[in-house]
Amino acid sequence: MTSTSTIMDSNSFKAKDLASLDKATAALVARREVLGPSYRLFYQKPLHFVRGKGTRLYTADGEEYLDAYNNIPSLGHSHPKVAQAVSQQLGLINTHTRYLHEGILDYAEDLLSTLPGAIDRIMFLLSGSEANDLAVRIAKAASGSTGILVTQEAYHGNTDLIAKLSPAIGADQPMAVDMRMIPTPDTYRLGTGDIGQWMAGCVKEQIDDLRRHGIGFAGILLDSIFSSDGVFPDDAGFLRPVIDLVHEEGGFYIADEVQPGFARTGEAFWGFERHGIVPDIVTMGKPMANGIACSGVATKAEVLSAFAEGSPYFNTFAGSPVAMAAASATLAAIREDGLQENAKAIGSSLKEGLQELARSFPELGDVRGAGLFLGLEIVVPGSTRPDHATAVKLIEEMRERHVLVSLCGPAGNVVKVRPPLAFSNSDKDLFLSAFEGSLKALGA
């Protein structure tokens, strides 16, 4: 490993810790050499899960863990309705988008009903990376330009095009010559006052810089909750002047909803909705089909046309009847299980509980979040200086207490809490008691 990546390496297993593992874990870790060196495992002592149910995961030894980090099975692990929908469809037929099938149309119509009326087209893919890749191609075709803006610690995926727009991958990852970075809207350090105007100013500078280099402005790609930048949801509405400016400058706004979409923020179904803005293109993935590969690009017919008229699109497994059955069952269960309301209620009492803890533990510098997506700043007490080493210790302490969380932010010091949306009141209590115990253990 030559350079480290904030999103991949902040709490990854390091080969130097191999000797401290039990025999069975060490053997599995050693066998992973066959996968090559790009993969990362979580934790100093990697975990081997063999079963999941609801918010809980179970190791090969039968130990139970509370999952407070996985936003993919947002209905909960192994949700019976999704399992049933997938197995039923797989037992019937699974083809692709070059044959007619009602499943894709029923789901497309249902999904579009959750988006602003102006967004009337949806294409399906398999991963968030693919969705962002297609979205950028659509924005480039529609604008006739190639310049794209992202935030400085953004992660949008792993295709060649998107890795070059994902600075969080690490310093060895080359960036595209026609991209520019804007600073993270770090409201903890900058204050929330005029953050929107400040950010719009940063965007203007970078659009001007692109043009000075002979590169036209195609658009801006923004994670609506700035996940890898450190989780910055507030104040809701701060993106409005930014997107107004993007439109004045002739660019397209791509909302990356891979993390905040599908009810996670509790206050809205989509992260951008909290800001009172309408994107030109919306990308989505992770929780869309509760663990089955499925992602999407939703846009307006007039935005899509330049790309679609020039390029036919086929993606073998995307939009298959099985993927659509899983996605439909997921959307239905979000509604039936009241998960948006749950995210709002449990998320806000979790945030309050953590804010209470922050009053006693000065290393917990800031608690922020929307719904069940929280960022907890671990800092040097009495300052806003990030403390990465303490943050790593803290999440290892949480792991010892059988609660899973991870880290994000440019300094790898923000604890990211992002559990399945089915997180219950008792899950929240368990989380708070483990977090308090872990904070106390830091000083021990």
Ligand X SMILES: Cc1ncc(COP(=O)(O)O)c(C=O)c1O
Closest CA to 437 of 399, 406, 410, 411: 399
Stretch that binds ligand X, among 251-259, 297-305, 329-337, 422-430 (CB under 6 A): 251-259
Least distance between ligand X and beta carbon 328 (Å)? 19
- What is the CA angle 146-149-155, rounded to 5? 115
CB contact at 8 A, 221 and 282: no
Options 54, 230, 266, 285; binder of ligand X; rule CB under 6 A: 285
Q: How crowded is the C-beta side of 176, counted as CA atoms within 13 Å?
A: 20
Part in contact with ligand X (CB under 6 A); list of ranges 97-105, 152-160, 240-248, 370-378: 152-160
Beta pairing partners, 403:
66
Q: Which of 129, 299, 328, 438 binds ligand X (CB under 6 A)?
A: 129
Residues in contact with ligand X, counted by CB under 6 A, come to a total of 15
241 Cβ contact partners less than 8 Å away, ≥ 6 residues apart:
196, 197, 199, 200
The span of 26-34, 253-261, 321-329, 344-352 binding ligand X (CB under 6 A) equals 253-261
The first and second tokens of residue 240, run together, are 């409005």
Which among 128-136, 234-242, 272-280, 303-311 is the span making contact with ligand X, rule CB under 6 A?
128-136
Q: Is 157 in the site for ligand X (CB under 6 A)?
A: yes
Contact between 227 and ligand X (CB under 6 A)?
yes
Which one of 35-43, 125-133, 234-242, 385-393 is the stretch in contact with ligand X (CB under 6 A)? 125-133
Task: Determine which residue in the list 25, 97, 132, 265 makes contact with ligand X, applying CB under 6 A.
Answer: 132
Map residues 182-201 to x or -, x wherever contact with ligand X holds by CB under 6 A: --------------------
- Minimum distance, C-beta of residue 23 to ligand X, in the bound complex (Å): 32
Q: In terms of DSSP H, where are the helices of 275-338?
A: 301-310, 321-336
Residue 155 interacts with ligand X (CB under 6 A): yes or no: yes
Residues 438 and 66 sit within 8 Å (Cβ to Cβ): no
The two beta strands, 147-151 and 179-182, are parallel
Name the 3-class secondary structure at 104: helix
Binding mask 45-74 for ligand X (x = CB under 6 A): ------------------------------
Q: Are 221 and 258 in contact (CB under 8 A)?
A: no
- Shorter beta-carbon distance to ligand X: residue 76 or 157: 157
Residue 127 is a binding residue for ligand X (CB under 6 A): yes
437 contacts 101 by C-beta, under 8 angstroms = no
Q: How far apart are CA 23 and CA 104, in angstroms?
A: 47
| Count of CB atoms situated within 10 Å of the CB of 354 | 24
Nearer Cβ to ligand X (286/428): 286
**Beta strands 252-256 and 281-284, pairing class:** parallel
For the chain, the straight-line distance linking the first and the last C-alpha, in angstroms and rounded, comes to 33
Say which DSSP state 156 is in. -
The two three-digit tokens of residue 423, written as one number: 């997180």
Q: What element of type H or E holds 298?
A: strand 295-299
Is residue 97 within the footprint of ligand X (CB under 6 A)? Answer: no
Residue 373 found at the interface with ligand X (CB under 6 A): no
Nearer to ligand X, 285 or 353 (CB): 285
Q: Which of 54, 73, 76, 128 binds ligand X (CB under 6 A)?
A: 128
Q: Can residue 296 be called a binding residue for ligand X (CB under 6 A)? A: no
Beta strands in 95-159, from DSSP E residues, in sequence order: 121-125, 147-151
| Interface segment toward ligand X; rule CB under 6 A; list 151-159, 206-214, 318-326, 362-370 | 151-159
> Does residue 233 bind ligand X (CB under 6 A)?
no
32, 12 contact by CB (below 8 A): no
The nearest distance, CB 96 to ligand X, in angstroms, is 20
Q: Does 259 bind ligand X (CB under 6 A)?
A: yes
342 contacts 371 by C-beta, under 8 angstroms: no
DSSP-derived letter for residue 293 is: S
Our CB check for ligand X shows the closer of 28 and 72 to be: 72
As measured in angstroms, the least distance from the Cβ of 127 to ligand X is 3
In angstroms, give the least distance from the CB of 336 to ligand X. Answer: 25
Binding stretches for ligand X (CB under 6 A): 127-129, 132, 155-158, 223, 227, 256, 258-259, 285-286
